[in-house]
Chain A
Amino acid sequence: MKSNDYLPHEVQIVARVQEAPDIFTLRLRFTDLAHHARYHFDAGQFNMLYLHGVGEVAISIASDPKDTHLIDHTVRVVGRVTKALAQLQTGDYLGLRGPFGRGWPMAAAQGRDVLLITGGLGCAPVVSVVHYVLRRRAHYARLIIMQGVKHTHDLIWRRQYDTWAAAPNTQVLLTADQTGQGWPFNTGLVTQLIAQAQFDPANAVAMLCGPEGMMRATAQALQERGLPDHDIWLSMERNMHCAVGHCGHCQFGGSFICKDGPVYPLPEISHLLGVKGF
């Protein structure tokens, strides 16, 4: 039979974790176990999750590529499909097709400092990298996790950040634009954290995820610290329907984010970053 990248495969929810009031994780397994065994992905790739009668959404794969047991997706409720996905329970069935796109440069980052810089609520594509690096700690040099939120109460996974901070050779820097009482971290934008980050700009890779304005300002701050453009990587988001570069929705200049991204090195897209309308 010809391959059909449009056709979902049935998956079952093996476990469901409520991470925050509007964020949950679905742990999935293909009901066709042979298909499950064949399934491989890279950190930073995404799947299209399908809910019967409702539709499909693009969701990053949050689990580790070497974990062949389950495929995890951490979803934030924002609209029609994600709201309906939030109602599902363990044992329910979904459709899944993927993996799609280009992931993070994990191979190129080996032996180097890894900077993860995120803005906004739970940034799933980058959480998978934290797990990835921590499980292969010897393969990477320093791990620096920088997260910025608007309000202190937007910080989910606070305990997780504490655990990460305790890991060897790992630095965690948190900040909020507006801070309240009992916030032991920084006040201000995530870009202001970069001054405190301990990394070797000649031997580091930065991975950015968040609103485009935040990624742009962060890239500039990293350039000022001497990090070359080709070591700065960004995860982009656009409307997606097909996920295979056919429907045109996710075009970003001359590229399709679903196929050529979602992860890009800065030089590939810098001419369009911040241009309104692209």
Chain B
Amino acid sequence: MNHFLAREDFPHLLRALTQAGYDCVGPQIRQGAIVFDHLHSVTQLPQGFQDEQQPAHYRLQQTDSPYWFDWSNGASAIKPYTFAPQENLWAVQRDQSGRLRFQATLPQPQKTAIIGVRACDLAALTLQDQHFLHGKHVDPYYQARRESLLLIGVNCTHAAATCFCVSTGDGPEIRQPYDLLLSEIAAGFLLSSGSTAGATLAAQLPLTPASDAQQHTAQQRMQAATQQQRHLPAKPPLFAHLNHPHWQTVGARCLACGNCTSVCPTCFCHQALEIPDLDGDTSRHERRWDSCFQPGHSYIHGWQIRSNATDYYRQWLTHKLAGWHEQFGRSGCTGCGRCISWCPAGIDLTAEVEQLG
């Protein structure tokens, strides 16, 4: 963190990105929540906004502070930019003799720079990479999107009441690979690069050496985000408590809406759908995000392995917090707290684990 970029010079970064052929994406307010979307100008950034999050509660508050990134995280992580909510896998054409011609419909994404990625979400991206790219089978659709990304991280300066990245070891300081890393202070940003692409961009910016005082301020601001109210045990022994009565208690509250799985940056379930054209000879095979809270998720001929909210919730939590250790060598939760804020029933996994441990 030995460079400083003045706030009024931030547009240079956007310009450098655009000139290098990147489509810029950054945080913006949509329908009362912060989401990522195309970013053309710094005026679109949520200046002065802070988030207030609680179980089943998310509000933005306007303050007169100069900060652009003083909120902890928004409704969606960056998951849709790598693992698309809906995507064609291939198309097939049948000719008159019934022969089938299969064609992969690989995405050709534009190079995209995402500005404002948080520690918990970069950690989640590393986990999704592990799932889609580093296993026995490589997912070429995810891979094409993943390779198109340039990641500009921002260290958190404020933790929502729902955050617990300290206990999962994923934040608030960014430790996963990034291209550029920013720490916001009132006058601007401390900046460091973490890749060749990042260094090339940094070389085009009007940077000055960061002073000790600036570095100290940034460090202190980040320190504030380590004050967190929630905590997740490292490896809750959930598989040893599959018959705990508390599963029923949480199942009775759960609406099985699946919000928790769609906001979670590490959930990867999807379904494959066959979508024939009206011409009868063209058909495409599509995948869409799915959720273990959907009745069809566990359907096998004639019956459902899981058929009620208690079973759905138990599948989700045991997978996320215990099954992941077996599959990926660590928990599937990076402490972002989204599933707590966006659960309409206010179900809080950290509190449930306390009952179930």
Contact = CB atoms under 8 A, between A and B. Distances in A.
B228 interface: no
Interface in B83-138: 89-90, 92, 94, 98-102, 104, 106, 131-132, 135-138
A247 B271 contact: yes
B136 A244 contact: yes
A238 B270 contact: no
Majority SS at the chain B contact face:
mixed
Contact of A247 (B290, B322, B327): B290
A253 B300 contact: no
A177 interface: no
Contacts of A271: 239
B322 A254 contact: yes
A154 interface: no
Interface string A264-278: 000000011001111
Interface string B284-326: 0101001010001111111001100011001100110011111
A52 B94 contact: yes
Interface residues of B, number: 58
Interface in B216-233: none
B42 to A, nearest CB: 38
Nearest to B275: A53
Contacts of B290: 247-249
Given A238-B298, A277-B315, A95 B100 contact: yes
A91 B97 CA distance: 10
B32 interface: no
A52 B92 contact: yes
B272 A242 contact: yes
Majority SS at the chain A contact face:
loop
Contacts of B297: 239, 249
Contact of A3 (B138, B292, B301): B138
Contacts of A93: 94, 98-100
A254 B323 contact: yes
A55 interface: yes
The CB with the most chain A CB atoms within 10 A, among B132, B143, B297, is that of B297
B22 interface: no
Contacts of B315: 251, 277-278
A241 B270 contact: yes
Nearest to A91: B98
Interface of A: 2-10, 31, 52-56, 78-79, 91-95, 237-239, 241-242, 244-249, 251, 253-256, 259, 271-272, 275-278
19 contacts: A2-B143, A5-B137, A5-B138, A7-B90, A8-B92, A52-B276, A52-B283, A55-B273, A78-B301, A237-B300, A242-B270, A248-B290, A249-B290, A254-B322, A255-B327, A259-B135, A277-B242, A277-B315, A278-B305
